[in-house]
Amino acid sequence: MSEGPLSSDKALLGGIAAGLAILGGCLMLSAAVMVCVSVALRKFADSAVPGDIELVQIATALSVFAFLPLCQWHRGNIMVDTFTTWLPESVQRGLDALWDIVYGLVMAIVAWRLLVGAGDTLRSNTVSMILGLPTGWAIGACAVMGIFLTFVAFATAARRMRSGV
């Protein structure tokens, strides 16, 4: 495959996606450790980590949005090709690219609505029930990662059309 003017941009997208996934993994690992500590405190000290459920909810949402771009970058989403395997390779690539574009468009809508929700939550000072954490920042972070996922989906569509990867 020849190096084109967009190859460095694509490497950048893949690198950012990998970095986000690593951060998401660290966040999930931290949440798992916190849950273990909270369970141990409940068992042995009749206590718990305050707001553990809230923290797990926020960490899970952020982690999922952090993992999605790398999954898309490596085309790791579930694909059902039962009805297209008989088609020529070029048509299969075109269909795959089409679905990447559809995925990107859907994620653009999701990200847009998350941005609206983040703005509303920040304006209304919505906070979590136990710890009183403002929730808008987490929703906004998910929106930003959703926007990034949109770009990754469009990039994988373009890559699929050009090289068949």
pLDDT in tens, the chain (165 residues): 444 444 566 689 999 999 999 999 999 999 999 999 999 999 999 999 999 999 999 999 999 999 999 999 998 887 777 678 888 988 889 999 999 999 999 999 999 999 999 999 999 999 999 999 999 999 999 999 999 999 999 999 999 988 755
Query: What pLDDT, on a 0 to 100 scale, did the predictor assign at position 1?
Result: 40
Query: What pLDDT, on a 0 to 100 scale, did the predictor assign at position 162?
Result: 86
SS3 134: strand
Query: What pLDDT, on a 0 to 100 scale, did the predictor assign at position 3?
Result: 46
Query: What pLDDT, on a 0 to 100 scale, did the predictor assign at position 2?
Result: 43
In single-letter form, the type of residue at position 145 comes to: M
Query: What pLDDT, on a 0 to 100 scale, did the predictor assign at position 7?
Result: 59
For the chain, the three-class secondary structure string (H helix, E strand, C coil) is CCCCCCHHHHHHHHHHHHHHHHHHHHHHHHHHHHHHHHHHHHHHCCCCCCCHHHHHHHHHHHHHHHHHHHHHHCCCCCCCCCCCCCCCHHHHHHHHHHHHHHHHHHHHHHHHHHHHHHHHHHHCCCECCCCCCECHHHHHHHHHHHHHHHHHHHHHHHHHHHHCC
Tell me which H or E stretch contains 165: none
> Hey, how many other C-beta atoms are within 10 angstroms of the C-beta on 57?
15
- Please state, in angstroms and rounded to a whole number, the distance separating the CA atoms of residues 6 and 34: 42
- Report long-range pairs for 86-91 (Cβ below 8 Å, ≥24 apart): 89/164
Query: What pLDDT, on a 0 to 100 scale, did the predictor assign at position 156?
Result: 94
Whole-model pTM over 0.85: yes
Query: What pLDDT, on a 0 to 100 scale, did the predictor assign at position 86?
Result: 86
Which residue has 């373009």 as its token pair? 158
